Amino acid sequence: MTQTRRDPDTLHVVIIGNGVAGVTAARHIRKGSAAAITIISSESDYFYSRTALMYIYMGHMTFEQTKPYEDRFWEKNRIDLLRDHVTHIDADAKQLRLASGDSFGYDVLILATGSQPNKFGWPGQDLHGVQGLYSLQDLQRMEQYTRNIGEAVVVGGGLIGIEMAEMMHSRRIDVTFLVREESYWNNVLPPDESAMINRHILSHDIRLHLSTELEEILPDSRGRVRAVKTKTGEEIPCAFVGLTAGVHPNIGVCEGSPVTTGRGILINRYFETNIPDIYAIGDCAEFISENGTRGRIEQLWYTARMHGESVAGVILGRRAEYDRGILFNSAKFFDLEYQTYGDVPSDVRDEDSLYWEHPDGTRCIRIVMRDGVVTGFNLIGMRYRHQVCERWIHEERPLTYVLEHLGEANFDPEFSHQFEDRLIGQWNERHPDQAVHRVRRRGLRRLGTSAYRHIRENATS
Amino acid sequence: MTTVQIHIPDEIQRRYRSDHPLRRTGLALFGIGLLIFVVGATGIFSTIPLLYSLLSLGLATTGALLFIIPGITERKPGIDNDGIMFRPMLNRKSVAWLTAIVFTGFYVLLYWFPSSLEHMVVASDPLSWALRGKAADRWFLYGTLYTLAVLVMGARMLIKYRHSRYHIIRTLSVMFFQLVFAMLLPSILQLFNQPEFYFHYFWPLKYDYLFPSKITFLLENSTRLAVFMGFWAIVMAFIATPILTYFYGKRWYCSWVCGCGALAETLGDPWRQLSDKSLSAWRIERWMIHSVLVFITVVTLLLWINSATEGAVLGSFSYSFSRIYGFLIGAMFAGVIGVGFYPLMGSRVWCRFGCPQAAILGLIQRFASRFRITTNGGQCISCGNCSTYCEMGIDVRWYAQRGQDIIRASCVGCGVCSSVCPRGVLNLENGPVSERLH
């Protein structure tokens, strides 16, 4: 898969998809070259933040405010935006066929087509009033479907599920939340954190049904959803059903083209597909695994951003293998903020983790270790510094070191209560032989030049 | 190209309106109080000041509080911005324009047609007698209304942000400074025949505090307190302000102490999202605010030159120049536009585009302060809540999504961006100046 070296300035780079992956790629190609750049999207005229869809529905923001760049940014940076839908890729002729009937040529093609909500063949899944939530069009439909309704059901125990529940809750719609697992998001969260979220969901008057699977969605005489039926035979009346059982790569654009796909568009660690000059990034891409297992698909906001930046480097001739570094993520479940750094397995063994929970049950700290070395953090109701946690994990710091310096990681606002001492107290009580003393409270101090250099390098612009 | 629009139907707007019985009662009382207050302009209550005061200001305050209190039970502690973008009052719809006209109109009457308020002033008479031992004037009425607004809407802030100690403490701080330093202390000073003085206002916001006439009057006064006031005015303006801003950023003043900030952070809070975040607005902002700073500096210097030369050089020119400043900036901008435009341009129009104090503090904050808003690594998801709710019109997201710290002259450190961030990305911090990430 050797690609001939060309002057990037002479290329026409076409990007399908104006989500964060595609847009980041475009911005970085522009920063490093004078290439012609076109972004094609059938979803929206301008890049908007998909993560903010829920805030539009809840009335926290307008659609305009979800756009990270002013409209004139694109013209100023000579990034052409085309509102159309690519129906076919002619890889030999390097031509795209568009839904409008036009053809569009490219020198380099980046596929950044994102995801689609999963549907598992449930009877009634295509009824009026049943949908997932991924795109702007989904939000528009949800706006119509949920207008003036009283009851809704959300199926699926992940991040979008709880978002949809929160969205409808904000409009005083009664929500029943069906979760297949015995506890919310317990394939990601350890039992304590998962239980905390369960309680929080219930405290917002969401009817949380755990260990409950959807059997079918029942229509009324006009083909609209009337109720859902669970595997136990229970019927729950509702006028809207949100299907949020995950997403899968949106790879329809590759049909009829020689680009090979598995679950997603197959790429190597340089985002190269099997066809020269065609790359795939973001949610739609699947890394070819080296040992025959399922390839990795990265569906996070920041990984999409990193993909975009990395693929730009590859196209501009700085061919470096993609390394996403130490994992991190965050979410907000109603009012509970969640942050995670490093590796926190949902089935982490008690002896491998130190867990402290506030008596009010809305905050917790979990530090995970392997052989006495800290490998991960989970925080709920608290904020920790990304750089500090990452550095400790990278430097393989022992738990006692991390505990002593834990104040350094605290990123909570000024005047908020600090709980590191409680965690340390709990540790000291159980391990008097390895008792530690907190070295410092939270607050900025010299985090070390290396940490700052690291952030500078990671600053994506 | 077709534009994507999210249309929010009217019925949803109704859903957001609370029909809590206390709210309805409160709204009714507030309306009646306001009505009685306005009817008082005819003079029919002039002979019964106490009753007029209770039925107007008393009733309206009680009503407003009743309207606010159900917020405690309606939602759990946490960020509550549900429906803000659907409410006509908060989105420049007719009712917002009407409110802006009422606010603006009040300031116009206050500054240029004081006789029209002659009878309404009576509503603050009982309080004025109690505090100052003399009858109220229009400025006392204005101070009373201002303080009531800060206290009542401050209570609303305390409820809205009851999950955040930062907001609770800074709201209590602005309420305290407004009540004690802007209302009680100056009144008591007058009661004891001392000069009226506001210890929490300095040059150039309170521009006349460094005018030669004022300084000379204070320093050459026979009472020690007046001399102290003179020194206070000089020390605060030239020494304390830069030092405090170096350590804490301009927030120590703008969102903790200042009276304009107090009103913006309380009465203005519901409209904070209306500030313009565009690059062109930022450009206009920088031109305007620094021009005002130059203007007042020149005015002050001219007055001092005039005073030193006993009018030989400039004649009456410097006085008329200072009168122009007083009219254009002191009254028109700070008052009429600054507060009148809350429902149209957000709560910090004056602070952002006009305040020379903010300009000075901003320059220090931008170039020589330990304050910054730290961005937490790569956690930003570009959702835009921070930018949306920045009352100073800073596009916070622009910096956050690039992993940069936010070091902007205009940031008043209200801390709302940090609170509304769903991913814990932003934090107001003080630390080594050299390590602020530009």
Q: How does pLDDT run across B62-75, given as a tens digit for each residue?
A: 999 999 999 888 88
Domain parsing of chain B, residue ranges: 20-76, 372-435
Predicted confidence at residue B16, as pLDDT, reads 53
| pLDDT above 90 coverage of chain A, percent | 90
Q: Is the Cβ pair A446, B435 closer than 8 Å?
A: yes
**What's the gap in Å between the CA of B4 and the closest CA on chain A?**
6
The sign of the dihedral angle between the CA atoms of B300, B301, B305, B311 is negative
- Which residue in the set A56, A171, A387 is minimally distant from B377, CB to CB? A387
Checking if the pLDDT of A454 tops 60, the result is no
B389-B391-B395-B399 Cα dihedral, nearest 10 degrees: -90
Query: Which pLDDT belongs to residue A455?
Result: 47
Collect all residues with Cβ–Cβ distance below 8 Å to B150 and sequence separation of at least 6: B174, B175, B178, B179, B259, B262, B263, B266, B267
Whether residue A110 has pLDDT greater than 70: yes
Collect all residues of chain A within an 8 Å Cβ-Cβ radius of residue B377.
328, 385-387, 390, 455, 458
Q: Cβ of A63 and B15 within 8 Å?
A: no
CA nearest to B67, candidates B20, B100, B109, B108? B20
Cβ-defined contact of A452 to B374 (cutoff 8 Å): no
Restricting to A residues 303-342, those with a Cβ less than 8 Å away from any Cβ of B are 305, 328, 330-332, 334-335, 337, 339
Q: Is the pLDDT reported for residue A2 higher than 50? A: no
How many whole angstroms separate alpha carbon A209 and alpha carbon B7?
32
Cβ pair A82, A105 in contact under 8 A: no
- pLDDT tens profile B414-438: 999 999 999 999 999 999 887 776 6
> Would the CB atoms of A413 and B404 count as touching at under 8 Å?
no
Q: What is the pLDDT of residue A446?
A: 52
Residue of chain A whose alpha carbon sits nearest to that of B438: A456
CB contact under 8 A, A301 and B435: no
Quote the CA–CA distance of B181 and B201 in Å, as a whole number.
9
Write down the pLDDT at residue B335.
84
Residue B312 has pLDDT above 80, yes or no: no
Cross-chain Cβ contact B383/A52 below 8 Å:
yes
Q: Verify whether the Cβ–Cβ distance B15 to A415 is below 8 Å.
A: no
pLDDT for B1 equals 40
- Given a cut of 90, whether residue A96 has pLDDT beyond it is yes
Can you give the pLDDT at residue A146?
A: 95
Enumerate the residues of chain B whose CB falls inside 8 A of the CB of residue A332.
422-423
Suggest the residue from A62, A171, A337 to mutate for an interface test with chain B (most B CBs closer than 10 A): A62
- What stretch of H or E contains A355? strand A353-357
All domains of chain A in start order, with CATH: 8-116+248-315 (3.50.50.60), 130-245 (3.50.50.60), 328-458 (3.30.390.30)
> Do B82 and A330 count as a contact with CB atoms less than 8 A apart?
no
Q: What is the mean pLDDT of residues A269-297?
A: 93
Which structure tokens are listed for B312?
């030989």
Q: Which residues of chain A lie closer than 8 angstroms to B378, CB-CB?
A: 302, 305, 328, 386, 458
Closest Cβ opposite residue A20 in set B12, B382, B403: B382
Residue partners of B216: CB distance under 8 A and separation at least 6: B307
> pLDDT band at residue B186, thresholds of 50, 70 and 90?
very high
What are the start-end ranges of the E strands in B141-204?
Answer: none
B428 contacts A51? CB cut-off 8 A: no
Residues in chain B: 438
pLDDT for B44: 95
B207 contacts B325 by C-beta, under 8 angstroms: yes
Mean pLDDT of A413-420: 94
> Residue A74: which pLDDT band, with cuts at 50, 70 and 90?
very high
pLDDT in the model for residue B15: 54
* DSSP bridge pairs for A116: A248
Among chain A residues, CA nearest to B162? A416
Q: What is the pLDDT of residue A456?
A: 45
pLDDT at B310 over 70: yes
How far, in Å, are A341, B39, B199, B254, B371 from residue B361 at the CA level? 38, 43, 18, 9, 12
Counting Cβ atoms within 10 Å, is residue A163 exposed (0-12), middle (13-18) or buried (19+)?
buried
Mean pLDDT of B20-48: 94
Contact predicate A460/A20, CB 8 Å: no
* Dist CA A409 CA A116 (whole Å): 36
Q: What pLDDT is stored for residue A452 in this prediction?
A: 45
Question: For residue A396, which phi and psi values (nearest 5 degrees)?
Answer: 55, 50
C-alpha B436/C-alpha B432 separation (Å) is: 7
Residue B3 has pLDDT above 90, yes or no: no
pLDDT for residue A445 is more than 70: no
Give the gap in angstroms from C-alpha B127 to the nearest C-alpha of chain A: 36
Are A460 and B402 within 8 A, CB to CB? yes
Cβ within 8 Å of B, A 28-87 = 43-45, 49, 51-52, 55-56, 58-63, 65-68, 70, 83
Residue A459: pLDDT band (50, 70, 90) is very low
Residues B168-187 have a mean pLDDT of 98
State the pLDDT at residue B347.
Answer: 95
φ and ψ at residue A186, rounded to 5 degrees:
-80, 0
The count of other CB atoms within 10 Å of the CB of residue A277 is 19
Tell me the pLDDT tens digit for each residue of A260-270: 999 999 999 99
Contact A400, A367 (CB under 8 A): no
pLDDT at B157 over 80: yes
**What pLDDT sits at residue A347?**
96
The CATH classification number of B372-435 equals 3.30.70.20
Strand partners, A430: none
The CA distance from A237 to A38, in Å, is 47
Query: Does the pLDDT value for residue A457 go beyond 60?
Result: no
Chain B closest-CA separation from residue A433 CA (Å):
35
Cβ distance of B377 and A328 shorter than 8 Å: yes
Q: How many CB pairs under 8 A join A and B?
A: 184
Residues B102-124, mean pLDDT to the nearest whole number: 95
Q: Is the pLDDT of residue B273 over 90?
A: yes
Selected for mutation to probe chain A from B5, B6, B76 (highest A CB count within 10 Å) is B6
Q: In this predicted structure, what is the pLDDT of residue A451?
A: 47
pLDDT band of residue A450 (cuts 50, 70, 90) is: very low
Percent of chain B residues past pLDDT 70, beyond the cut = 95
Residue B259's nearest CA partner among B363, B129, B357 is: B357
Task: Give the span between the Cα atoms of A260 and A282, in whole angstroms.
Answer: 16
Q: Which one has a higher pLDDT value, B435 or A394?
A: A394
Least confident range from A366-375, A420-429, A438-447: namely A438-447
Question: Lowest mean pLDDT: which of B162-171, B315-324, B416-425?
Answer: B315-324
- pLDDT of A134 higher than 80: yes
**Is A415's CB within 8 Å of B165's CB?**
yes
Instruction: Please tell me which of the candidates A68, A412, A460 has its beta carbon nearest to residue B403.
Output: A460
Rounded to whole angstroms, the Cα distance separating B382 from A50 reads: 9
Q: What whole-number percentage of chain A has pLDDT above 70? A: 95
Residues of A in contact with B282 (CB under 8 A): none
What integer pLDDT is reported at residue B5 of this predicted model? Answer: 58
Q: Which of B87, B376, B419 sits opposite A411 (nearest CB)?
A: B376
ipTM of the complex: 0.94
DSSP-assigned letter for residue B131: H
Which helix or strand (DSSP H or E) is residue A449 part of?
Answer: helix A449-458
Place B331 in a pLDDT band, splitting at 50, 70 and 90.
confident
